[in-house]
Amino acid sequence: MKKKKKTQKPLTGQVRLARMADIFQIYKVIRENPKEVLPRSYQDLFRNFDRFLVYDEKEKIKGVISWQVLPGPIPDEDKALEVVSFSVRKRDQGRGIGSRLLNQMLKKLIKYHPDRILVLTFYPRFFKKFGFRRVSKKKLYSKIFLGCINCAKYPSPLNCPEVAMEIKLSPENKEEKKK
C-alpha cells in the first residue's frame, strides 16, 4: 500500500515589516522553537520590532526574522550584521516561509553595505543554499561579546552546537547581490 504524500498548503501570505500590533505574535512564534531560537523578552521585542520582518497569512504571523548590528572592536572595520530570531511556527515549517523571510532579509541587509552577514544556526544546509559559508566561532569575537557571552544555555560560547556561518560581501559582491 502506497503512503500518501502530505500536501503542503500553498503560500498565500506576504512578507512585510513588523508592526507594533504584531509584537505578541512575534513573541509566541519565537517561543515555539526554544531549542533553536533564543527567547527574547517582550520588552526587547517592543524596543526592536522595527528590525523584524514577518510572514503574515490572514493576519496570523507564521514566521519571523530579525537582525542586529555586530560592532567590531575597531570603529569602521569589520562592519557585520547578524540574522537573529529566525523562527517559523512548527505546523507551518516546510512550506517555504523561511526561504521567503531569509530572501527578503538578505535584500534588506545588503542595502546597509555590511562587510559580512552572519548567522548562528542548527541548520547549516538551509543557509548554505543562500550563499552562507561556515566560519570558525573563534573569528566572531564581536558576536561572542555582544550576545553569546550572556547565553544561559551553554557554559561557553565555543561549546555551543550552533554552526557559525557568514556571507562575505566585497564591494563587487554588494553590487551583484543588489540586482
Query: CATH number for the domain including 58?
Result: 3.40.630.30
Mean pLDDT, the chain, rounded, equals 86
Establish if 4 belongs to a structural domain.
no
Q: Which residues of 98-110 are buried (b: 16+ CB within 10 A; e: fewer)?
A: bebbbebbbeebb
Structural domain contains residue 103: yes
Residue among 50, 105, 48, 55 at smallest CA distance from 82: 105
Task: Report if residue 167 sits inside a domain.
Answer: yes
Beta-carbon count within 10 A of 90 CB: 10
Of 46-50, 147-151, 155-159, 173-177, give the lowest mean pLDDT range: 173-177
pLDDT per residue over 116-168, tens digit each? 999 999 999 999 999 999 998 877 766 666 667 667 777 776 778 889 999 99
Look up the domain containing 145 and give its range.
14-178
Short-list 11, 177, 174, 147, CA closest to 88: 11
How many domains is the chain partitioned into structurally?
Answer: 1
Is the pLDDT assigned to residue 4 strictly greater than 60? Answer: no
pTM of the model: 0.86
pLDDT recorded at residue 10: 84
Q: pLDDT digit string (tens) for 81-127? A: 999 999 999 999 999 999 999 999 999 999 999 999 999 999 999 99
Q: Give 57 or 138, the one with higher predicted confidence.
A: 57
Q: Is 129 a member of any domain? A: yes
SS (H, E, C) 151-164: CCCCCCHHHCCCEE
Which H or E run contains 177?
helix 171-178
Q: Would residue 1 count as lying in a domain? A: no
Position 8 in a domain? no
The three grid cell numbers given for residue 133, joined into one nine-digit string: 559559508
Is position 105 within any domain?
yes
